[in-house]
Structure 1
Amino acid sequence: MLNDEERYQSLLEYYPNAKKADWQLVIAGQRVQIIKNAKNKPVTLQFGTETFISDDKTVFGLLGASPGASTSPYIMLNLLEKAFPDKVKNQWNAKLHEIIPSYGQHLEQNPTLLNQIRRYTSEILGLNYIVTQQEQTNQPIKPKQQPANSRCSFVK
């Protein structure tokens, strides 16, 4: 909301030696917050993105900020499952499992598959993956619990 001169004056408060000619405005990114008011449910605040689909499944899309690389596959798979449930379960299922070997499985309940996925991705990324004691004994991995005071919810 500031003009160039006001931004520069604000910068001088933190860096008194700043020269105006050395600085330029760059948009660093954005965060989007979605406020949902569902019937008979408390209002929730969500961050990032949310998919939507019409009842007749002819219109679907993504609301919010552009998702990052870590969430894009999950969001797109979620959208495919909503928009094309029959094709995902039947025609596309084998291909989805070929692309994503862990598709549809909970890795925290399958330590053997979790270990295989970690080894594979570590090899591809050139990382040194070390199997933990818990993984060596094939004990289920317990998911970390969300703090009780957390007010954020995420779209599944």
Structure 2
Amino acid sequence: MDLTRYLIEQVMQSPQDRLEALQEFFPAAELDDWRLLTAGQRVQIIKQDPEKGGVLQFGTEIVSSADGSIAALLGASPGASTAVDVMLDILGKCFSKRLPDWKKRLTEMIPSYCKSLQDDPALYRTVRKEADQALGLT
């Protein structure tokens, strides 16, 4: 539960605590020069547990109606590293009947869709090269 403790400590920081943390990177910082703004909010999942009452979970969970007409993403918002995978999960849960019709287009957008990069070194190299170029790493 180290992450839980860290998150609670961050929320509970006083203005002076925040200033001292800022001064580690910018020693000349003064409290009057800064104002606190609410940025991205993290929401964690708390699930019922028969023994503990509520258990804090980290990560994300997709919840959808049985007919797939609505879906929600619970928990911490996914970053770029997980957003595509989360969206593909939602497509699978909410549009499972239409997914085969979309496979060609999804594969054009995501060359590794329904493939294993671990089992296909050439595809891995291609995807890695394209990602590096898109991110300006090469």
Q: Same fold (TM over 0.5)?
A: yes
1:116 Cα deviation (Å)? 1.5
Please tell me whether the aligned partners of residues 87 and 93 of structure 1 are also in contact (alpha carbons under 8 angstroms).
no
Which residue of the partner structure matches residue 96 of structure 1? 106
For structure 1, list consecutive stretches of 5 or more residues without a partner in the other structure.
1-5, 129-156
Tell me the TM-score normalized by structure 2: 0.66
1:28 Cα deviation (Å)? 4.5
Which residue of the partner structure matches residue 78 of structure 1? 89
Please tell me whether the aligned partners of residues 31 and 48 of structure 1 are also in contact (alpha carbons under 8 angstroms).
no
Aligned match for 2:132, one of 90, 111, 122: 122
Q: Which has the higher helix share?
A: 2
Q: Take 1:113 and 1:10, find their aligned partners in 2: how far apart are those partners?
A: 48
Higher gyration radius (CA): 1
Q: Take 2:55 and 2:117, find their aligned partners in 1: how far apart are those partners?
A: 28
Cα offsets for 1:30-76 (capped at 9, x unmatched): 4332234589xxx9753232211111222222223332222111111
Please tell me whether the aligned partners of residues 44 and 75 of structure 2 are also in contact (alpha carbons under 8 angstroms).
yes
Query: Aligned residues, how many?
Result: 119
Please tell me whether the aligned partners of residues 45 and 56 of structure 2 are also in contact (alpha carbons under 8 angstroms).
yes
Aligned match for 2:36, one of 1, 16, 25: 25
| Percent identical residues | 45
